[in-house]
């Protein structure tokens, strides 16, 4: 492992850890002052929008990593991917934050948001998030692959993966586990393939930041909110789009599309609770009082 990669990994782990140590309490106070309080599945008041902390930790680390790449020889490919990752994820976090701040929480699901647009001629906050997220996904994909079929596949992954996490963000730490699963698929699909720039390195600070807030989410003290689901979903989708082959990307797109279709008719929470091993995995990491 060369010195440049070691430096990137060091920054990707240490910067989020230091940021969490210094800023987490202040972040909670800020969210509380802004009234970012929502009812959880047990009808308890919980601070939401915790994805802001995840984004800030990871983005600070990625900015430092970009500086290393900027002054390192033969790092242009990694620098380009890193810039797209940071810019795209910041945009996705922004659209999620707007949705978190919106008081309009009555409309749910694709049918609800499109129904409000069609019947009431109004854009819900969720529809703005979908428009902004879709535009971001398309622009990042075109920058990655140009006007090709690969760009369309990547755009689909980047657009749908945030909502996949949002669909599962209904119990403590569940969305973080789905994020970990998608990231593992990306790694297994070729993140360490020879002859490629190590694009996976940009996921290191995201994974570190997610791990730092895991216990707070699992304990039911904090919810990621749409900010976190959008940000982590984009990060997972970006990793899938840059590491998987075109055929596997299409397969993942089909899986995402099926999940979105099922979500309109099936309760994933009930399915998880009815399958023993899924329920045990879902409960893992939670204190007894949050189960």
DSSP state of 241: H
Predicted confidence at residue 237, as pLDDT, reads 96
Predicted confidence at residue 179, as pLDDT, reads 97
Q: What's the pTM?
A: 0.91
Q: Chain-centre distance of CA 289, in angstroms? A: 26
Residue for token pair 């810019």: 87
Q: Nearest CA to 163 among 133, 187, 141?
A: 133
Predicted confidence at residue 2, as pLDDT, reads 80
Predicted confidence at residue 117, as pLDDT, reads 56
Q: For the stretch 252-262, what's the b/e string if a residue is b when 16 or more beta carbons lie within 10 angstroms of its beta carbon? A: bbeebeebeee
Predicted confidence at residue 286, as pLDDT, reads 86
Q: Which residues, in sequence order, are bridge partners of residue 38?
A: 46
Helices (H), 221-285: 225-243, 246-263, 268-274, 276-283
Angular region, 87: left φ>0, alpha ψ -120 to 50, beta rest? alpha
Q: What is the pLDDT along the chain (291 residues), one digit of tens a residue?
A: 588 889 999 999 999 999 999 999 999 999 999 999 998 888 899 999 999 999 999 999 999 999 998 887 666 788 899 999 999 999 999 999 998 987 766 556 555 555 555 566 666 667 778 889 999 999 999 999 987 899 999 999 999 999 999 999 999 999 999 999 999 998 887 654 444 556 789 999 999 999 999 999 999 999 999 999 999 999 999 999 998 888 899 999 999 999 999 988 899 999 999 999 999 999 999 886 665
What the block records as the tokens of 253 is: 């797109």
Residue 13 in contact with residue 209, Cβ under 8 Å? no
Predicted confidence at residue 59, as pLDDT, reads 98
Helix 225-243 / helix 246-263 crossing angle, nearest 10 deg: 150
Q: Nearest CA to 128 among 165, 166, 98?
A: 98
């Amino acid at each position: 492992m060369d010195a440049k990669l070691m430096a990137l990994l060091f920054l990707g782990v240490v910067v989020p850890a230091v940021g969490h140590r210094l800023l987490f309490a202040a972040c909670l106070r800020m969210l509380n002052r802004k009234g970012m309080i929502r009812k959880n599945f047990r009808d308890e008041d919980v601070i939401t929008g915790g994805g802001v902390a995840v984004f800030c930790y990871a983005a600070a680390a990625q900015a430092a990593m970009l500086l290393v790449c900027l002054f390192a020889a033969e790092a242009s490919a990694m620098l380009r991917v890193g810039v797209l990752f940071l810019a795209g994820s910041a945009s996705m976090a922004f659209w999620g934050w707007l949705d978190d701040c919106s008081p309009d929480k009555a409309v749910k699901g694709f049918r609800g948001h499109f129904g409000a647009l069609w019947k009431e001629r109004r854009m819900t906050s969720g529809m703005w998030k979908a428009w902004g997220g879709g535009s971001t996904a398309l622009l990042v994909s075109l920058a990655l692959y140009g006007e090709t079929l690969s760009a369309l596949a990547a755009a689909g992954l980047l657009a749908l993966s945030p909502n996949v996490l949002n669909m599962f963000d209904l119990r403590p730490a569940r969305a973080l586990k789905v994020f970990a699963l998608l990231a593992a698929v990306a790694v297994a699909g070729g993140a360490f393939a020879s002859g490629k720039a190590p694009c996976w390195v940009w996921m290191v600070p995201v994974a570190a930041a997610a791990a730092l807030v895991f216990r707070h989410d699992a304990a039911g003290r904090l919810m990621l909110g749409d900010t976190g689901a959008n940000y982590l979903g984009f990060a997972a989708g970006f990793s899938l789009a840059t590491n998987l082959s075109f055929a596997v990307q299409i397969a993942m797109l089909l899986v995402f599309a099926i999940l979105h279709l099922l979500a309109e008719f099936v309760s994933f929470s009930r399915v998880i609770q009815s399958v023993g091993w899924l329920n045990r995995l879902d409960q893992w990491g939670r204190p007894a009082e949050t189960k």
